[in-house]
């Protein structure tokens, strides 16, 4: 049985794989809540929040790659894998909390923390503008607070669910 887009020859994630995705998502959410107070007191909250964003993005991207039957290394950013995931379920960016612009913003923030740049680069400003989000100028610092992290994770979760990878995936869909 295959999953993802029609005609895909890759094996779709099993119900157990989808369950592991959401179990890890919940574990990370729980950890985030329990650890936040301690980190606020030690002034390392932004590093922690960036780590949670990086991990959340990795979970989402990996699940999308499995669903699409794609090699994760060949995906060209959230614009690519998000669009393909949504199309595989007959959805569009309008079905995602924050839309394409919110998804691209979270990906740029994730990249800034994952790669240590922590600022808007000229190409990322262009990427944001192309997605429909007015960008801050190149060189502007990228920051992350708890409210932003929650919003970014909400966008990722919404993208997964709109793409057909919700918690309650029908067994026949797998």
pLDDT at 1 over 50: no
Residue 119, in any domain of the structure: yes
Averaged pLDDT score across all residues of the chain: 86
- Cα separation of 1 and 24, whole Å? 25
| Residue-by-residue DSSP string for 81-142 | HHHHHHHHTT--GGGSTTHHHHHHHHHHHHHHHHTT--B--HHHHHHHHHTT-PPPPTTPBP
- Cα separation of 152 and 98, whole Å? 8
Q: Domain count of the chain?
A: 1
Residue 173, in any domain of the structure: no
pLDDT of residue 137: 85
Residue 8, in any domain of the structure: no
Q: What is the mean pLDDT of residues 74-90?
A: 96
What phi, psi does 121 have (nearest 5°)?
-95, 160
Residue 149, in any domain of the structure: yes
CB-count exposure of residue 34 (10 Å: 0-12, 13-18, 19+):
exposed
Q: What is the mean pLDDT of residues 59-75?
A: 93
Domain that holds residue 80: 15-166
Residue 174, in any domain of the structure: no
The predicted-structure confidence for 3-27, as pLDDT tens digits, reads as follows 555 555 556 677 888 888 888 888 8
- Torsion angle of the four alpha carbons 110, 125, 78, 119, in this order, in degrees rounded to the nearest 10: -10
């Amino acid at each position: 049985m295959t999953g993802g887009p029609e005609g895909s020859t890759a094996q779709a994630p099993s119900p157990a794989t989808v369950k592991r995705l959401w179990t890890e998502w919940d574990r990370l959410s729980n950890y985030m809540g329990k650890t936040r107070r301690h980190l606020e007191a030690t002034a390392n909250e932004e590093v922690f929040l960036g780590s949670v964003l990086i991990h959340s993005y990795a979970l989402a991207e990996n699940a999308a790659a499995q669903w699409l039957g794609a090699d994760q290394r060949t995906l060209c950013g959230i614009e690519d894998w998000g669009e393909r995931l949504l199309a595989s379920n007959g959805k569009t960016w309008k079905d995602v909390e924050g839309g394409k612009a919110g998804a691209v913003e979270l990906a740029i923030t994730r990249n800034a923390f994952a790669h240590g740049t922590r600022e808007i680069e000229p190409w990322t400003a262009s990427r944001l503008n192309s997605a429909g989000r007015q960008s801050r100028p190149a060189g502007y610092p990228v920051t992350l607070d708890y409210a932003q992290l929650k919003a970014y994770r909400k966008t990722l979760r919404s993208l997964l669910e709109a793409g057909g990878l919700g918690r309650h995936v029908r067994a026949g869909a797998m």
